[in-house]
Amino acid sequence: MALFTGTPRLEFESLPSTNAYAMGLLAESPIEGTTILAYHQSQGKGQRGTTWEVAPGLNLTVSVIYRPTFLAVAQLFLLSKMTALAVAETVSHFLPAAAVAIKWPNDILVGRKKIAGILIETQLEGKQIAYAVIGIGLNINQPLFPPELQHKATSLYMYEGQHFSIQQVYTYLCDRLEAWYLALRRQNGEHLNRAYLQQLFGYQEEIDIQLGDAQMRALLVGVDKGGRLALAIDDELRYFDIKEVKLLL
Ligand code: BTN
């Protein structure tokens, strides 16, 4: 059971975005561990300025407020790693037979389809992270997706053919998030790095990537401290940030 993640828990019928709401709360010095849940988001935010659109009432859309003042801005990617691990563990718990993986940097896959997305926003104080808003969209009971997403999105229901309690998934997720967050606070992140690589889609394998207009094969070597993807292309080791490379599934 999580001790402080989910206390208090703020629940809304509808919000533009749980992340936007949480970011707005920061001015009021919210309690660490506060969660914001919405049944429906009208302007859910995705990575790189995209939108996160899911059917109302069927999925988990939650933001968690942490206060990781022990992390320097340069260590921000550790938060991505811990969240991806917590979400991946949650999916594995409810779908024990599924092949769950983290697609760099922090999408969660079941097989080759995305089941959850993560958006982390921060408030900085000098070189430290004063607050982190950890936004998670996890597809739970959605039975189908619009045609443009049908081949690349999935849900717990679509995999298992049965409904899941959003409340139970939320509770388990809070527990795993808190466990990783406390581990991060105690240690230097080495354990986290190893666990992340173990779950990383394509790690130490040849994968298909898109660089600009060109598609090619590359060896996924790892991820550096800043979160850049390390790829060996034609025997040359190169580092890429999220805007520069796309992993093809
Ligand atoms: C992605 O593009 O993969 C990230 C999606 C993150 C969606 C979640 S849903 C809860 C939280 N509130 C938001 O507006 N976005 C995140």
Residues 152-198 pLDDT 10s: 999 999 999 999 999 999 999 999 999 999 999 998 788 999 999 99
Give the side-chain half-sphere CA count within 13 A for 129: 22
Q: Tell me how far the alpha carbon of residue 20 lies from the centroid of ligand 1, in angstroms.
A: 10
Residue 118 near ligand 1, beta carbon < 6 Å = yes
Q: Which two tokens mark 45?
A: 């935010």
Count the Cβ atoms, other than its own, within 10 Å of residue 153. Answer: 19
Q: Tell me how far the alpha carbon of residue 17 lies from the centroid of ligand 1, in angstroms.
A: 8
CB-based contact 135:18 (threshold 8 Å): yes
pLDDT, residue 212, reads 93
DSSP character at residue 45: B
Residue 90 near ligand 1, beta carbon < 6 Å = no
Average pLDDT, the chain: 97
Nearest to 32, CA basis, from 13, 8, 12: 8
Determine if the pTM surpasses 0.75.
yes
Per-residue confidence band for 51, with pLDDT thresholds at 50, 70 and 90: very high
Residue 60 has pLDDT above 90, yes or no: yes
Atom of ligand 1 lying closest to residue 48 CA: 2
Residue 6 near ligand 1, beta carbon < 6 Å = no
φ/ψ of 102, rounded to 5, equals: -100, 125
pLDDT digits (tens, 9 = 90+) for 209-219: 999 999 999 99
Residue 119 near ligand 1, beta carbon < 6 Å = yes
pLDDT, residue 187, reads 83
Q: Tell me how far the alpha carbon of residue 12 lies from the centroid of ligand 1, in angstroms.
A: 16
Q: Which two tokens mark 224?
A: 């550096």
Percentage of residues of the chain with pLDDT beyond 70 = 100
Tell me the torsion sign for CA atoms 207, 208, 210, 213.
positive
pLDDT, residue 238, reads 98
Residue whose CA lies nearest to ligand 1 atom number 9:
137
CB-based contact 38:57 (threshold 8 Å): no
pLDDT, residue 9, reads 98
Residue 135 has pLDDT above 90, yes or no: yes
Classify 1 as helix, strand or coil: coil
pLDDT, residue 166, reads 98
pLDDT, residue 160, reads 98
The whole-number average pLDDT for the span 30-56 is 96
pLDDT, residue 190, reads 86
Nearest to 204, CA basis, from 193, 215, 219, 189: 219
CB-based contact 191:181 (threshold 8 Å): no
Residue 46 has pLDDT above 80, yes or no: yes
pLDDT, residue 89, reads 98
pLDDT digits (tens, 9 = 90+) for 5-23: 999 999 999 999 999 999 9
Report the alpha-carbon distance of residue 149 to residue 185 in Å, rounded. Answer: 37
Residue 76 has pLDDT above 90, yes or no: yes
Atom of ligand 1 lying closest to residue 44 CA: 14
Report the alpha-carbon distance of residue 132 to residue 135 in Å, rounded. Answer: 9
